Amino acid sequence: MPGVYLSYPFCAQKCTYCNFASGVFPRELEARYLDALAGEISAHTWRWQPQTIYLGGGTPSSMDTTALAGMLARIPGRPWREATLEAAPGGITAEKARAWVDLGIDRVSLGVQSFVETEIRRTGRKHTAAVVEEEIALLRTAGIRAINIDLIAGLSAQTETSWRESLDWVERLAPEHVSVYMLEVDEDSRLGKEMLLGGVRYGAMDTPSEDATADFYEIAVERLAALGIPRYEISNFARPGYESRHNLKYWTLEHYVGFGADAHSFDGGKRWANPESVEEYVSRPLPYGRGSVSGAHDDERLFLGLRLAAGIRPTADEWQRFAAPIRRFVDDGLLETADGALRLTDRGVLLSNEVFQEFLTA
């Protein structure tokens, strides 16, 4: 099920925790970006019919609907089996929602992150839980088939009580899909940098410990399962039949092509990526992606597949090649085997980076 990813890296504000190559850019750059994006899609030679579309960013929900229609008209395969648009709560109207449905969008992913006001404000976002509730009602009335809610465990000022409050809102709003991410602390976000420096800005001193964040994640796993939204991938939870068809292809090594700044592509043999910076993307001649090409690694199949709750069925060769790390992780209680499948245990999920690293270097 090959898919298409479209990147729209423009946002109303730069969230404190965000480590993507997205942000606030001049309007003039946005116009040039849309031209470049349309040019890149038009120049593409389609060797297969896309079955899924994913508009990410950034905040593609803020894209003018006429511009969005122009981009989607360039992509074959409509009606797609799934077409997702990432949206920031606070800017969704009934007209927009109807226009999205008319354009073939059937899934909206809402970057909620938290339903608790103190936490939301510290991220730099402006929505409230009530706004999210109203906008989900608008999306459902317009005919959106599936809604995803993104949550982040580990935000500044988050406590077990406030985390449970966000999960109560999930229960009340009954989305088909939930993504739960643990806050990433790195140099690429303002909050991460401040935490690494031991500073106080962006509420850095009030972020929960790593252990507390892991506990919040486990609370979510348990609560969402009880709500009929089990985990199917480390960060993703869905009611049966509502797993993200587009995102699944990243873990099962299916083909996809990405357009726009920082978009990645994979054709089964090699991977390539467009320039990360918006300025570089708009000023580079077509084809944008040829700057960074790499071959797919043999071991990718194994560690990408392990992200899935169902695990992976290693080939005879893989069982043999990775026999030593598999045995060690099974002994340590991080991996389990059953009926020819290999998968992470609940504890293994929390230490998954350690496990993946081992397979990459084995």
**Residues in region 82-121 near ligand SF4 by CB under 6 A:** 88, 111
- Name the burial class of residue 192, with classes exposed (0-12), middle (13-18) and buried (19+) by CB atoms within 10 angstroms of its CB: buried
154 binds ligand SF4 (CB under 6 A): no
Residue 33: which residues within 8 A CB-CB, separation 6 or more?
9, 10, 25, 260, 261, 278, 281, 282
| Cβ-based nearer residue to ligand SF4, 181 or 356 | 181
State the nearest-atom distance from the C-beta of 123 to ligand SF4, in Å.
Answer: 8
| Cβ-based nearer residue to ligand SF4, 7 or 51 | 7
| Cβ-based nearer residue to ligand SF4, 14 or 284 | 14
Residue 171: which residues within 8 A CB-CB, separation 6 or more?
223, 227
Report the alpha-carbon distance of residue 222 to residue 207 in Å, rounded: 22
Q: Are the C-beta atoms of residues 84 and 144 closer than 8 Å to each other? A: no
| Cβ-based nearer residue to ligand SF4, 16 or 265 | 16
State the nearest-atom distance from the C-beta of 24 to ligand SF4, in Å.
Answer: 8
| Cβ-based nearer residue to ligand SF4, 149 or 308 | 149
181 binds ligand SF4 (CB under 6 A): no
% helix / strand / coil in the chain, to the nearest 5?
45, 20, 35
**Residues in region 249-268 near ligand SF4 by CB under 6 A:** none
User: Closest by alpha carbon to 261, among 58, 62, 108?
Assistant: 58
58 binds ligand SF4 (CB under 6 A): yes
Cα atoms found within 13 Å of the Cα of residue 79, Cβ hemisphere only: 9
Report the alpha-carbon distance of residue 119 to residue 172 in Å, rounded: 19
State the nearest-atom distance from the C-beta of 229 to ligand SF4, in Å.
Answer: 22
Report the alpha-carbon distance of residue 105 to residue 81 in Å, rounded: 10
| Cβ-based nearer residue to ligand SF4, 23 or 39 | 23
Interface with ligand SF4 by CB under 6 A: which range of 9-17, 35-43, 75-83, 336-344?
9-17
**Residues in region 13-42 near ligand SF4 by CB under 6 A:** 14-15, 18, 20, 22
Report the alpha-carbon distance of residue 191 to residue 78 in Å, rounded: 40
| Cβ-based nearer residue to ligand SF4, 4 or 88 | 88
Interface with ligand SF4 by CB under 6 A: which range of 10-18, 39-47, 72-80, 250-258?
10-18
Q: Which residues of the chain form contacts with ligand SF4 (CB under 6 A)? A: 11, 14-15, 18, 20, 22, 57-59, 88, 111
